[in-house]
Structure 1
Amino acid sequence: MVTFLPLVQLIDSAFPTGSFSHSFGLETAMQEGRVRNAAQLTEWLRSYVTGSLSPMEGAAVLYAYQLAQRLIAEEPNSELTRENLKELDRKLTLSKLARESREGGMKIGRRYLYSVLELYPDSGLKEYESWVTQGECFGNSCIVHGWICAYLLQAPALTVVSHMYASVNSLVQNALRSMAIGQTDGQKVLQALIPIIEAEARKMVLTPVSEASLSCHNLMQEIEAMRHETLYSRLFMS
């Protein structure tokens, strides 16, 4: 019987990916006064979801899921599928303009890969690990998540929703550590964003995706991520 419980384990905030160490520009927005309360946090995250997380990472998770399905099923043209995955890995990393964001994404991706391989050594992700070790790929959590969800026979929409929810939840938890809002307000922020995450995932599943369709148009967040390394004091690595 296929259940969603293995997926719940993977997106739990206690799962060791190291994402708690990264704010990806949110800390800059908080220190510079653009995010001071729950309402402003909700708007920052809404812009992050629609302008960056969904069109870039959400689409990449779905594309990686589809490519991994082909490898797992041992469909023809497997070498082309492998090259598509490698190109996806490179685009996901090199499209991040801020150095800290690139490095943070690689750290999270490699840690996620290591942990998933410990739990599911037969998932086929050993091959992806070899590409990272050999320098053909950087290591990215979107590819790991898409691949392991294909292996676990999770639905495409649930695969995308779970990745985006985990990403948003991680940033909400980081905001709780660094600004004056409480746990209840944090949950209200998440509640407000769930319909947006679900709508973005539905739209994505209904639209064909490819490596060429990935995009990011949240320029303010990119600038905040770049400025993070020059902040006077920092709680997060990015």
Structure 2
Amino acid sequence: MNLSLLQLIDSSFPTGAFSHSFGLETALQEGDVVNGDGLAKWIEAYITGSVAPVDGAGVYWAYQYADGLINEGGEAGEAEQKLTALDQLLTLGRLAREAREAGIKIGRRYLHTVEKLYPASGLSSYSNWIRSGVCYGNPSIVHGWICAYLHETPQSTVLSYLYSSANMIVQNAMRAMAVGQTEGQKVLRSLLPMLERQADLLLEHPPSPDLLSVRTIRQEIAAMRHETLYSRLFMS
């Protein structure tokens, strides 16, 4: 894993993810998560039931498609067809409207910044597909694409995405609940073995793009209920 990738997954990288809790804020207000242990369980369920089987798989396939286009001289038309179909599956497969809109906002912001940093990456094509209305914009595709351009391995590509997703929730939890910085880092440290296992499982048995599915129904419902909370710190 090179320093370029570390920059992309740093919590200070401007994707706008700090504005979204993906249902955690609902769980906090309703008392389902009240401490560090509860937070760790929530994030583990979020990663294993949603991020890894959907977004992580999206990262894997985006990497494969973009790698074939960038590094192996694949057919541009075929790559565009696969990537646009993947974008639509990842976006429209989200049940909660707020989570769906959050993915689009984060994806487009991630894309905007990465394009500026790596103008030769070819991600301008993705921007054009979004402007033309055939794509929505998704962070999984941006991450897989830029990692292929940076010649990262599939392992580091998927693992870095899972890590940044878990770290995002930890950082946001520290703003929303009585979890200090040390406790937050303890939670994140406890999740590292799980993140590695999920990355290994995904690489060993990558799900077909048309079979991506969320298994965390309770968290999806929490994301749906977020818009009706009495007070909100986050957008989703």
* TM-score, normalised relative to structure 1: 0.97
Q: When the two structures are aligned, how many residues end up with a matched partner?
A: 236
Q: Tell me how far 1:203 sits from its aligned partner.
A: 1.1
List per-residue Cα deviations over 1:48-94 (Å, max 9, x = no partner). Answer: 11110100011110010000011113544432221110010001111
Q: Tell me how far 1:101 sits from its aligned partner.
A: 0.8
Q: Tell me how far 1:97 sits from its aligned partner.
A: 1.0
1:172 maps to 170
Amino acid of the residue matched to residue 41 of structure 2? E
**1:131 paired to 2:129:** yes
1:161 maps to 159
List per-residue Cα deviations over 1:177-233 (Å, max 9, x = no partner). Answer: 011111111011101111111001011112244312322110001000000000000
**1:34 paired to 2:9:** no
Cα distance in 1, alignment partners of residues 206 and 104 from structure 2: 27
Moved more, 211-220 or 123-132: 211-220
Q: Is the 8 A contact 2:9 2:161 kept in 1?
A: yes
Alignment of 1:1-238 (within 5 A): 4-238=2-236
Please give the secondary structure, in 1, of the residue aligned with 2:32: coil
Q: Tell me how far 1:148 sits from its aligned partner.
A: 0.1
Amino acid of the residue matched to residue 89 of structure 2? K
Amino acid of the residue matched to residue 190 of structure 1? L
Percent identity for Structure 1 against Structure 2: 56
Q: Is the 8 A contact 2:50 2:214 kept in 1?
A: yes
Q: Is the 8 A contact 1:62 1:209 kept in 2?
A: no
Cα distance in 2, alignment partners of residues 208 and 144 from structure 1: 18
* TM-score, normalised relative to structure 2: 0.97
Which runs of at least 4 in structure 1 moved beyond 2 Å after TM superposition?
Answer: 73-78
Q: Is the 8 A contact 2:89 2:210 kept in 1?
A: no
* C-alpha RMSD over aligned residues: 1.1
Amino acid of the residue matched to residue 51 of structure 2? L
Amino acid of the residue matched to residue 28 of structure 1? T
| Structure 1 residues 70 and 97: CA distance shift in structure 2, 3 A | same
| Structure 1 residues 44 and 197: CA distance shift in structure 2, 3 A | same
In structure 2, runs of 5+ residues without a counterpart are none
Cα distance in 1, alignment partners of residues 211 and 116 from structure 2: 32
